[in-house]
Amino acid sequence: MNKRFVRGLALGLLGAVMLVSAPVWAGQDDNNLAVEKILGGRATDIRNWPWVVGVLHAGVDDGFRAHFCGGTLISDQWVLTAAHCVTDRSGVVKFTPGDLHVLSGQTDLRGQGGDRLPVARIVVHPRYNANNNDSDLALLQLARAPADGTTWGALPMIPPGDPAGLTNPGASAWVAGWGALGPRGGFPTVLQEAQFPIVSQAALILAYPPPLFSITENMIGAGPGDGTRDTCQGDSGGPMLVRDGSGGAYLAGVTSWGLQCGTAGIYGVYVRVANYCGWIKGVSGVGDCSGDGGGGGGCTVASGRGLGGEWLILAGFLVVWTIRRRFMGTGAPASGVEADRR
């Protein structure tokens, strides 16, 4: 993929360069928005993922149609999700707390037995950048604890700096969600899970090269690299977890963005939770932030210069990279947005 990209870019540079339209981000209620689920995964039970929740439109009774993002219970009062799930394309919060419900303890979005929880407060990370998805985090404070809150406990966050190296390249990551089963849509009602390796920052930057993309130290990439398994539209905000030697689970990432899901040579991009312990604890009181030097949000290690998030279209060679966040729009799943036709 990258060799083809470089060859195409070189050919395109022979032509005129034009900058056009800002990218379409998932999390916006556009008709042409990509919608997502886990690709190449398998059905699972909420008892295996008791911290996973669905973020729903409060005004829609059908859980399947109401669902548009995922989240993780980090306590019985707080859900960690993606900022782009609750903001518009400029990064401004587009919901009131009353617009949202959180669905806890339910495997099937159209099943029985779950707990639909009202939201009391929405807090977006103050350094969230809607152009490149840096610091793509939001906290939802619940109006009450889940009815089954005493049985599931809380998913601990990975410690600041990841001293045990649980997110080192090659480590296994697990993801779960109700997002699209593929880039063409097709959404499950039953929770899905998948496992794949974490990749190095160098590999992530190679997959998303500047100046078209901006990969920061607050992002972590994961995927098999062959397009067989990935998070997809509708999975945004859900967890990426890792395990220690004794099998203990830790929240390491929040599903954020990527190119068309299931694209070979491309990885899903997740928020690196270890960089945000200070902010999460400051807002929610949750987390052990010993050794955390700050509240998250950090330096850019690879960035586009002067593009302002716009697409680079090269005359004679059209490069169309449509970014998608792992989001599902209101109501029935929308048609998938195609990206990078190669």
Catalytic residues: 84, 136, 236
Residue 227 gets which letter from DSSP?
A: S
> CB of 192 within 8 A of CB of 175?
no
> CB of 250 within 8 A of CB of 51?
no
d(Cα 29, Cα 26) in Å, to the nearest integer?
8
Q: Which helix (H) or strand (E) holds 115?
A: strand 115-124
Task: Look at strands 78-81 and 138-142 and give their pairing.
Answer: antiparallel
Instruction: Say how many Å lie between the first and final Cα of the chain, rounded.
Output: 9
Tokens of 196: 């794949």
> CB of 186 within 8 A of CB of 204?
no
Residues 6+ apart with CB under 8 A from 140: 55, 71, 78, 79, 81, 86, 100, 102, 119, 121, 122, 123
Cβ neighbours, 10 Å, residue 250 = 20
Residues 6+ apart with CB under 8 A from 105: 46, 50, 113, 114, 115, 146, 147, 148, 152
> CB of 53 within 8 A of CB of 245?
no
> CB of 234 within 8 A of CB of 328?
yes
Tokens of 100: 């949202």
Chain centroid, CA 87 distance in Å: 14
> CB of 283 within 8 A of CB of 295?
no
Phi, psi (5° rounding) for residue 278? -60, -45
d(Cα 51, Cα 249) in Å, to the nearest integer?
11
